Structure 1
Amino acid sequence: MAGLSIGETAQRTGLSADTLRYYEKIGLLPRVARDPGGRRRYDERDLSRLRFIQRAQRCNFSLKEIGQLLKLRSAADASRPQVQRLTERKLAEVKAQMADLDHLQRELELLLNLCHGSEEGCPIIEGLES
């Protein structure tokens, strides 16, 4: 039987063997083919699906959302509105996170500036306490 072992697949994808088994367990990967000894053998479809999962993760989709995308992937034309809504929600989440991070950055810069300008006490600790 051809195909890549779990170790070879892990090396090619940068995912751990545990992650590959987990993806199969939760259904992100369909049951992977096994050789006569019961060892997993990954084919090109499995690798394509893993690359899809990794790209979706880089777009900040959760594993649950990736599962939804994978289901919608097979009927891309018909599911386009659903994919669009899911992506719009993800974009809104990312924008909110960026706003939170921007606020956090300004707050930390303020605390550091107070610290640099102070000769007594610790404005950072005092700022966190108030």
Structure 2
Amino acid sequence: MKIGELAKAAHTQVETIRYYEREGLLPETVRTESNYRVYGDEHVDRLSFIRNCRRLDMTLDEIRILLRFKDSPLENCADVNDLLDEHIGHVAARIKELKALERQLKTLRENCRKSQQASQCGILSELSTASHPDQELTTSKGHVHGAHSLKAKL
């Protein structure tokens, strides 16, 4: 099958397939006499595996490691378990950061409780004064919330 057919079969965009090829996640394919790449069911299976990993928010490096084990089925999978444990830790940290972000946004929302002219909007005013990601956001009621945990994400 050609790349367009592979894209349909794997529910993946052609550009994404080419990107995964450049990144070495998909094995090289044979080419026809007219220089078209020819893909098989193994490419559909591998793309499905990659898509499932991406759905779990795994990085390309993590996927590379998992693919190495998938390609070496007789290897011990202890490192796969370790990789997943580490990924779970990253997800837990992101959840914590997202909860902090939610609190910050709710605090920011407290600065403007009614519809009014934009020049009087407390949200816009607060966003103008919080000039650094580490600077704390304050509500009109004087509550202080730090923004330091999200600086890497912003």
Structure 2 unaligned runs (5+)? 131-154
Is 1:64 the equivalent of 2:61?
A: yes
Matched AA of 2:120: G
| 1:75, distance to aligned residue in structure 2 (A) | 3.4
- Residue by residue over 1:28-57, the C-alpha shift from the partner in whole angstroms, topping out at 9 and shown as x without a partner, is 011112222221111111110010000000
Q: Which has the higher contact order (CA 8 A, sep 6+)?
A: 1
**Would you tell me which structure has more helix in proportion to its own residues?**
1
Matched AA of 1:127: E
Matched AA of 1:75: S
Corresponding residue number in structure 1 for 2:4? 7
* Residues in 2 aligned to 1:117 and 1:16: alpha-carbon distance in whole angstroms: 44
Secondary structure, counterpart of 2:58 in structure 1 = coil
State TM-score, norm by structure 2.
Answer: 0.73
Corresponding residue number in structure 2 for 1:39? 36
Identity %: 31
* Residues in 2 aligned to 1:76 and 1:127: alpha-carbon distance in whole angstroms: 56
| 1:16, distance to aligned residue in structure 2 (A) | 2.2
Which of 105, 111, 116 matches 2:108? Answer: 111
Q: What is the number of residues matched between the two proteins?
A: 127
Distance 1:55 1:7, change over 3 A: same
Is 1:50 the equivalent of 2:61?
A: no
How big is the alpha-carbon RMSD for the aligned residues of Structure 1 and Structure 2?
Answer: 2.1
